[in-house]
Structure 1
Amino acid sequence: MRHAFAFGLMLMCVAGPLLAETSKKPSPNALIEFKRHLADKAPCTSARKKWMRHYAPYTRQLRTTNGRGRLLFNSVLTKMHAAGLPSEYALIPFVESHYVPSARSALGPAGLWQFTARTARHHGLKVGGKQDERMNPNRSTDAAIKYLRYLHRKFKGHTESVLMAFNAGEGRLIASRRKHGRKLSGITHVYPDKVTAISCNVLQQTR
Structure 2
Amino acid sequence: MFESIADRRLPLLLVLILLLAGCASAPERVDYRATGVFPEPPEIADNVAFWRNVYASWSRGEVAIHDNEHLGVVYEVARLPGPVREGYTPEQRDFVQARRLYHQRRLADLEIKHASGQRLSRDERELRDRLVSAGGPNAVAGASERIRVQRGLRERFHRGLEISGRYDAIFRDIMRTHGVPEDLAYLPHVESSFQLNARSGVGAAGVWQFMPATGREYMRVTSAVDERLDPVIAADAAARYLRNAHNRLGSWPLAVTSYNHGVGGMLNARAQFGDDFGAIARNYRGRAFGFSSRNFYASFLAAREVASQPHRHFPEGVRFAQPLQEDRLILRRDLLATDVARHYGVSVPQLADLNLAWRDPVRNGQATLPAGSTVWLPRGALHRVAGHPEPRAILVAQTTPPRAAAPPAPPARPAASRVAPAQAPVRHHVVQPNENLYRVALRYELSVDELRRLNQMAPNDNTIRVGQRLRISG
Same topology, TM > 0.5: yes
Displacement of 1:145: 0.8
SS state at 1:107 partner: coil
Is 1:172 matched with 2:170? no
**Maintained 8 Å contact 1:34/1:77:** no
1:153 corresponds in structure 2 to: 247
Query: Which of 302, 306, 326 in structure 2 is aligned with 1:201?
Result: 306
* Inter-partner Cα distance in structure 2 for 1:171 and 1:52: 29
Displacement of 1:139: 1.1
* Inter-partner Cα distance in structure 2 for 1:77 and 1:113: 14
Displacement of 1:61: 4.4
* Inter-partner Cα distance in structure 2 for 1:205 and 1:60: 9
Provide Cα deviations, 1:129-174, integer angstroms capped at 9, x if missing partner.
1321110111111111111111122222x11101111111101111
1:121 corresponds in structure 2 to: 216
Is 1:32 matched with 2:127? no
Query: Which of 168, 189, 200 in structure 1 is aligned with 2:294?
Result: 189
**Maintained 8 Å contact 1:113/1:141:** yes
SS state at 1:32 partner: coil
TM-score (norm 2): 0.33
1:50 corresponds in structure 2 to: 50
2:199 partner letter:
R
1:109 corresponds in structure 2 to: 204
Larger radius of gyration: 2
Displacement of 1:91: 1.7
- Distance 1:41-1:172 versus aligned 2 partners, 3 A rule: closer
- Distance 1:199-1:34 versus aligned 2 partners, 3 A rule: same
Displacement of 1:206: 4.2
* Inter-partner Cα distance in structure 2 for 1:29 and 1:83: 27
Query: Which of 135, 143, 152 in structure 1 is aligned with 2:237?
Result: 143
1:55 partner letter:
Y
* Inter-partner Cα distance in structure 2 for 1:121 and 1:29: 41
2:256 corresponds in structure 1 to: 163
**Maintained 8 Å contact 1:121/1:127:** yes
Provide Cα deviations, 1:106-148, integer angstroms capped at 9, x if missing partner.
211101111111100011x211213211101111111111111
| Structure 2: runs of 5+ lacking an equivalent | 1-24, 57-153, 273-283, 313-474
2:49 partner letter:
K
Bigger share in helix: 1
* Inter-partner Cα distance in structure 2 for 1:73 and 1:205: 14
**Maintained 8 Å contact 1:62/1:205:** no
- Distance 1:99-1:29 versus aligned 2 partners, 3 A rule: farther
* Inter-partner Cα distance in structure 1 for 2:258 and 2:51: 20
Query: Which of 98, 103, 119 in structure 1 is aligned with 2:193?
Result: 98
**Maintained 8 Å contact 1:30/1:74:** no
Displacement of 1:199: 1.5
Aligned length: 174
Displacement of 1:42: 8.6
* Inter-partner Cα distance in structure 1 for 2:311 and 2:170: 16
* Inter-partner Cα distance in structure 2 for 1:142 and 1:205: 25
* Inter-partner Cα distance in structure 2 for 1:30 and 1:62: 20
Displacement of 1:34: 7.4
- Distance 1:181-1:192 versus aligned 2 partners, 3 A rule: closer
- Distance 1:204-1:42 versus aligned 2 partners, 3 A rule: farther
Displacement of 1:38: 6.9
- Distance 1:42-1:173 versus aligned 2 partners, 3 A rule: closer
1:16 corresponds in structure 2 to: none
* Inter-partner Cα distance in structure 2 for 1:101 and 1:76: 14
> RMSD in angstroms over aligned alpha carbons?
3.1
* Inter-partner Cα distance in structure 1 for 2:27 and 2:170: 9
- Distance 1:135-1:62 versus aligned 2 partners, 3 A rule: closer
1:50 partner letter:
F
- Distance 1:59-1:84 versus aligned 2 partners, 3 A rule: farther
* Inter-partner Cα distance in structure 2 for 1:166 and 1:118: 13
Displacement of 1:99: 1.4
- Distance 1:62-1:175 versus aligned 2 partners, 3 A rule: closer
SS state at 2:167 partner: helix
SS state at 1:102 partner: coil
* Inter-partner Cα distance in structure 1 for 2:240 and 2:292: 23
* Inter-partner Cα distance in structure 2 for 1:135 and 1:38: 32
* Inter-partner Cα distance in structure 1 for 2:38 and 2:226: 34
* Inter-partner Cα distance in structure 2 for 1:31 and 1:82: 19
Provide Cα deviations, 1:66-102, integer angstroms capped at 9, x if missing partner.
x542121232123213322124422211111111221
* Inter-partner Cα distance in structure 1 for 2:308 and 2:40: 10
